[in-house]
């Protein structure tokens, strides 16, 4: 049972998001946080009573902000906002993404800067705990005034409309519709899940690299700590340390240490810490932006004491950039894994392993087409790695004239992640097969455990067979963290 998560608007973590989104951890609201929520609501009501003009409270939205809305139409204004902006298209977001978005939106609303009543975050928490998940289309947000369309589809359920109904729908009061949909929580929820999965893959890529190195009888000497202390990038150092631990006490390495004519291995083997270290630096950068955004006030206008201020915290550029960096980093990881895979299956590069790891090369093709599949996935990743966060297309009558395309960046990063997981899965399968041909020599203890884990998902190749199911099973276990070092 996952540990319960308590929201206070300031302390939510990526681990919390994963626990609620994927393990259905219970959610509660810190009672002290509701004091600030009530105070911010009182500030909005007082400003309205004074006759102040407040964007989205008694004005239209976007290009229509100059239109003054009478007080008696305040509720209709908020309801119309949700209805009109619920115009997303495409395949629905997966349930874990919807749950992440709901959690993040509730957490932001309890910060006390949104000017809403406590009933809004309380209803979101009730929906999470009751596993009530509205259908949210995955496309239709440019991430500029926040994720307007995805959040509007979520809000539909809360007001008793849409395809999923709540037991006690609410009536939105002044500002509450706008406060709900102005925010980056769709793209940020996806980003939090993606960066968690990316770190799992990063660790798994090291395990696959160690197995490939053993299979082609490469040298672990380039992972010596002294080399990496001389170029002290933190994640490069961590990568090298991970590889040293994985490759300790290898009988395979000791068997050919004195007779190996190679002075240096190819870059895909020798430079793994330098490349995966850089990937780690990119993921670390993205994680920092995402972790900050989890507890950020991203709607507009914001309430500070008695002041209601219009600004632009809803702009999703930080998260769009983080997602693009995740995609680029994982494309780098995927390309490196495919190059190691090539060295394992190519008879000109594999230090004596059978061609394409087939038992009877020529009659059998072994891993020939599995490597081709990996090459195709790498090409797909490289196309998708083109940044979305620079692809601005102005909207709302040119009021939103610079937009970040965060949801597009999330979609791309998600597909790159899935591709990279399958590429690493193929490398694990090939590395495990390569070790079969080196018996009775045994690899390092950690690699032997990895080999056994792979074998639980895929039997050794003794004759040609379709490998699709094996690849997919291993990829699923990669996502679950089973092979992560």
**Is 485 within a domain?**
no
Judgement on whether residues 169 and 195 belong to the same structural domain of the protein: no
pLDDT band of residue 1 (cuts 50, 70, 90) is confident
Judgement on whether residues 176 and 206 belong to the same structural domain of the protein: no
Q: Which of 183, 208, 237 is the last residue of a domain?
A: 183
pLDDT at 149 over 90: yes
Judgement on whether residues 236 and 219 belong to the same structural domain of the protein: yes
d(CA 78, CA 57): 8
Q: What is the DSSP string of 317-385?
A: HHHHHHHHHHHHHHHHHHHHHHHHHHHHH-TTTSTTPPGGG-SSBTTB-TTHHHHHHHHHHHHHHHHHT
d(CA 200, CA 367): 25
pLDDT for 408-425, tens place per residue?
999 999 999 999 999 999
**Is 151 within a domain?**
yes
pLDDT for 108-144, tens place per residue?
999 999 999 999 999 999 999 999 999 999 998 898 8
pLDDT at 257: 66
Query: Which residue(s) pair with 304 in the sheet?
Result: 307
pLDDT at 288 over 80: yes
pLDDT at 374 over 90: yes
pLDDT at 165: 84
pLDDT band of residue 473 (cuts 50, 70, 90) is very high
- Please give the tally of structural domains in the chain: 2
pLDDT at 31 over 90: yes
- The answer to whether the CB of 471 falls within 8 A of the CB of 429 is yes
Judgement on whether residues 405 and 278 belong to the same structural domain of the protein: yes
- What CATH number has the domain bearing residue 175? 1.10.275.10
Q: For 288-291, which contacts have Cβ atoms below 8 Å and span 24 or more sequence positions?
A: 289/318, 289/319, 289/321, 289/322, 290/14, 290/188, 290/191, 290/192, 290/195, 290/319, 290/322, 291/13, 291/14
pLDDT band of residue 259 (cuts 50, 70, 90) is low
pLDDT at 54: 85
pLDDT band of residue 52 (cuts 50, 70, 90) is confident
User: Whose CA is closest to 44, among 142, 141, 162, 179?
Assistant: 179
- The sign one gets for the Cα dihedral 369, 339, 431, 242 is negative
Do the strands 137-139 and 307-309 form a parallel or antiparallel pair, or are they unpaired? unpaired
- What CATH number has the domain bearing residue 234? 1.20.200.10
The CA R_g of the chain, rounded to the nearest whole Å, is: 26
d(CA 197, CA 186): 17
pLDDT for 303-329, tens place per residue?
999 898 989 999 999 999 999 999 999
pLDDT band of residue 395 (cuts 50, 70, 90) is confident
- The answer to whether the CB of 302 falls within 8 A of the CB of 114 is yes
- The answer to whether the CB of 70 falls within 8 A of the CB of 133 is no
User: Whose CA is closest to 298, among 96, 148, 128?
Assistant: 148
pLDDT at 256 over 80: no
Judgement on whether residues 82 and 218 belong to the same structural domain of the protein: no
pLDDT at 260 over 70: no
Q: What tokens were used for 311? A: 């600004």
pTM score over 0.85: yes
pLDDT at 404 over 90: no
Which phi and psi angles does 137 have, rounded to 5°?
-60, 145
Q: Which of 183, 207, 239 is the last residue of a domain?
A: 183
Catalytic pick among 15, 26, 39, 55: 55
Name residue, tokens 């291993």: 474
Mean pLDDT rounded to a whole number for the chain: 94
pLDDT at 66: 79
**Cis ω on the peptide bond leading into residue 301 (within 30° of 0)?**
yes
CA angle 71, 77, 82 (to 5 degrees): 155
**Is 197 within a domain?**
yes
Judgement on whether residues 197 and 115 belong to the same structural domain of the protein: no
pLDDT at 397 over 80: no
The single-letter DSSP state of residue 305 is T
Q: What tokens were used for 309? A: 């201020």
pLDDT at 63: 78
Kind and range of the H or E run holding 267 = helix 267-270
Instruction: List the single range of 74-88, 143-157, 384-398, 458-472 with lowest mean pLDDT.
Output: 384-398
pLDDT for 440-455, tens place per residue?
999 999 999 999 999 9
**Helix %, strand %, coil % for the chain, to 5?**
60, 5, 35
d(CA 31, CA 8): 8
**Is 242 within a domain?**
yes
Judgement on whether residues 202 and 172 belong to the same structural domain of the protein: no
**Is 261 within a domain?**
yes
| Residues contacting residue 152 through CB under 8 Å, at least 6 positions apart | 81, 82, 83, 85, 86, 87, 88, 181
Judgement on whether residues 95 and 215 belong to the same structural domain of the protein: no
Judgement on whether residues 196 and 167 belong to the same structural domain of the protein: no
Q: Is 55 a catalytic residue?
A: yes
pLDDT at 236 over 90: yes
**Is 412 within a domain?**
yes
d(CA 138, CA 160): 21
pLDDT band of residue 258 (cuts 50, 70, 90) is low
Judgement on whether residues 198 and 156 belong to the same structural domain of the protein: no
More confident residue, 262 or 204: 204
**Is 423 within a domain?**
yes
pLDDT at 58: 83
Q: Residue 162: left (phi > 0), alpha (psi -120 to 50), or beta?
A: left
SS3 category, 464? coil
Query: What percentage of the chain carries pLDDT values higher than 90?
Result: 82
Judgement on whether residues 206 and 162 belong to the same structural domain of the protein: no
pLDDT at 72: 86
Do the strands 5-7 and 27-29 form a parallel or antiparallel pair, or are they unpaired? parallel
Which phi and psi angles does 238 have, rounded to 5°?
-65, -40
d(CA 114, CA 180): 8
Taking residues 77-84, what's their average pLDDT? 93
- The answer to whether the CB of 280 falls within 8 A of the CB of 237 is no
pLDDT at 400: 77
Expressed as residue numbers, the domain containing 207 is 191-479
Q: Which of 183, 215, 244 is the last residue of a domain?
A: 183
The single-letter DSSP state of residue 274 is H
pLDDT at 262 over 70: no
pLDDT at 271 over 80: yes
**Is 97 within a domain?**
yes
More confident residue, 327 or 163: 327
Judgement on whether residues 385 and 456 belong to the same structural domain of the protein: yes
pLDDT at 462: 96
């Amino acid at each position: 049972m996952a540990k319960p998560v308590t929201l206070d608007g300031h302390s939510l973590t990526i681990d919390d998001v994963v626990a609620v989104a994927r393990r259905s951890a219970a959610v509660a609201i810190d009672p002290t946080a509701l004091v600030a929520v009530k105070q911010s609501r009182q500030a909005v009501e007082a400003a309205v009573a004074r006759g102040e003009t407040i964007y989205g409270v008694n004005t239209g939205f976007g290009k229509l902000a100059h239109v003054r809305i009478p007080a008696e139409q305040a509720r209709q204004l908020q309801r119309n906002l949700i209805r009109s902006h619920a115009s997303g298209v495409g395949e629905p977001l997966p349930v874990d993404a919807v749950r992440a978005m709901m959690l993040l939106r509730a957490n932001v609303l309890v910060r006390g800067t949104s000017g809403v009543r406590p009933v809004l975050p309380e209803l979101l928490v009730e929906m999470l705990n009751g596993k009530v998940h509205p259908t949210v289309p995955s496309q239709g947000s440019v991430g500029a005034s926040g994720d307007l369309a995805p959040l509007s589809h979520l809000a539909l359920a809360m007001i008793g409309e849409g395809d999923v109904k709540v037991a006690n729908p609410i009536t939105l009061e002044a500002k509450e519709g706008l406060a709900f949909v102005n925010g980056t929580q769709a793209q940020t929820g996806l980003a939090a899940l993606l960066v968690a999965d990316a770190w799992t893959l990063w660790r798994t890529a090291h395990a696959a690299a160690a197995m490939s190195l053993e299979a082609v009888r490469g040298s672990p000497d380039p992972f010596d700590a002294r080399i990496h202390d001389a170029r002290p990038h933190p994640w490069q150092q961590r990568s090298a340390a991970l590889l040293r631990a994985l490759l300790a006490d290898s009988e395979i390495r000791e068997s050919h240490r004195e007779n190996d004519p190679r002075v240096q291995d190819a870059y895909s083997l020798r430079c793994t810490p330098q490349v995966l270290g850089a990937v780690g630096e990119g993921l670390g950068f993205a994680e920092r932006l995402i972790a900050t955004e989890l507890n950020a006030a991203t709607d507009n206008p914001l309430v500070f004491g008695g002041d209601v201020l219009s600004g632009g915290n809803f702009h999703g550029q930080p998260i769009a950039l983080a997602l693009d960096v995740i995609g680029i980093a994982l494309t780098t990881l995927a390309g490196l894994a495919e190059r190691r895979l090539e060295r394992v299956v190519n008879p000109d590069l594999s230090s004596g392993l059978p061609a394409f790891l087939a038992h009877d090369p020529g009659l059998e093709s072994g891993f020939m087409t599995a490597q081709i599949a990996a090459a195709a996935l790498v090409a797909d990743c490289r196309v998708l790695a083109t940044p979305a966060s620079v692809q601005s297309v102005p909207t709302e009558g040119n009021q939103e004239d610079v937009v970040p395309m965060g949801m597009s960046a999330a979609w791309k990063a998600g597909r790159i992640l899935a591709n990279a997981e399958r590429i690493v899965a193929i490398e694990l399968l090939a590395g495990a097969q390569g070790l079969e041909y080196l018996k009775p020599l045994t690899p390092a203890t950690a690699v032997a455990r990895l080999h056994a884990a792979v074998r639980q998902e895929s039997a050794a190749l003794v004759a040609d067979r379709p490998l699709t199911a094996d690849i997919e099973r291993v990829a699923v276990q990669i996502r679950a963290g089973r092979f992560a070092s």
